[in-house]
Amino acid sequence: ETGVTQSPTHLIKTRGQQVTLRCSSQSGHNTVSWYQQALGQGPQFIFQYYREEENGRGNFPPRFSGLQFPNYSSELNVNALELDDSALYLCASSFGTEGPNYGYTFGSGTRLTVV
Amino acid sequence: KNQVEQSPQSLIILEGKNCTLQCNYTVSPFSNLRWYKQDTGRGPVSLTIMTFSENTKSNGRYTATLDADTKQSSLHITASQLSDSASYICVVTYNNNDMRFGAGTRLTVKP
């Protein structure tokens, strides 16, 4: 059984640029959730994808967008990067939409630095 | 307002000692509460999950308690090891499918 893998592990971008982060869900999981974790803070929910559609969104602007593919992997896209976007971006997979009850598996995250 | 507050913010203990981390929440209606361990630069890993009817749950040297009446939970670590150095995050699920993360307690275990 493979866990959740995220790529890249580290990334440095310039303000105004666009970035794409990738996540492969754990085998058997069909739901992917994305979180932004600033240094010293708990993760903040960005959005969740279930069956290739967005299934819930946190308080993030539209320049944060995502995709889920038929194999349940997912991408997080951020346009017009701002300095405050610098954070650890975590992907978590689960089965169905009952993740909070049945458990999430987190990836190791992508550390994004915007300069 | 649905909040999860953790204390202390950071903690330093000597190897072999015990410690207790606290989590207070105001979220409602409560579904479950999880404690996660997050090593630096890694994703969180679940330690325990507790539902409304559970008061205590153990996972090795980790013991979580839950008082649903006072909306408080604690995570007790026994005989700490250097590898216990990490952030410990309390996560409360409410409305069956919404989650609120605490900011975490940063634990450092020194030899």
Apex B75 CA angle, B30 and B61, nearest 5: 130
pLDDT digits (tens, 9 = 90+) for A1-58: 468 999 999 999 999 999 999 999 988 888 999 999 998 888 999 999 998 999 889 8
Q: Does B99 touch chain A (CB under 8 A)?
A: yes
Rounded Cα–Cα distance for residues B16 and B35 (Å): 21
Cβ contacts of residue B70 below 8 Å, gap of 6+?
none
pLDDT for B16: 97
- Distance to chain A for B78, nearest Cα, Å: 24
Backbone torsion region of residue A100, taken as left when φ is above 0, otherwise alpha when ψ lies between -120 and 50, otherwise beta = alpha
Tokens 């993760």, located at residue: A43
Provide the number of CB pairs (under 8 Å) joining chain A to chain B. Answer: 55
pLDDT for A98: 63
